Amino acid sequence: MRESRKKVESSPMITILNVITVLVLLAAILSIAKLVNELNHVFNRELYSNMEYNLQDENYGDMVREYYSRSYDVAPFATLHEEEYHVAEYADAAFRNLFYENAGDSEQAASMKTRMQDARNGSGKLSVSADDLDSILEEITLFPEKYAS
């Protein structure tokens, strides 16, 4: 009544195909793990890389936006990117100073001048960027028709 189970022997070709299948699956798993690791590396950038990129690109407007969105990271403790934040603060104060001077509000303009000086003092070796920003704003002041939209 009981059927005896016979040991089914597989051909050598089936054994080779099984080994190849296992090796391909292992290679696929390793490739997917590497892909996930690379994607994490790409999308989990350092939090401050935007500020650094904008500084290198001389995109002071985006630096100001980044400064306001992350200003809580700076005070009251020092960070590795503190000088970049001071350059962004300088840019903000310089833009506002130009606005208040053109609007005729000398009290606010003087307040922005003080803020500009404080930010320049904190920018350390990046104070060259503040000089660059001053030359850009001076050009805007001298040739306003060039920048009028």
Q: What is the pLDDT of residues 72-105, one digit of tens each?
A: 555 545 667 788 888 989 999 999 999 999 899 9
Q: CA-to-CA distance for 93 and 41, rounded, in angstroms?
A: 35
First vs last C-alpha separation in the chain: 96
Q: Which of 91, 74, 96 is nearest to 129 (CA)?
A: 91
pLDDT exceeds 90 at position 34: yes
C-beta neighbour count of 70 within 10 angstroms: 17
Q: pLDDT above 90 covers what percent of the chain?
A: 32
pTM more than 0.75 = no
pLDDT band of residue 31 (cuts 50, 70, 90) is very high
Q: What is the mean pLDDT of the chain?
A: 83
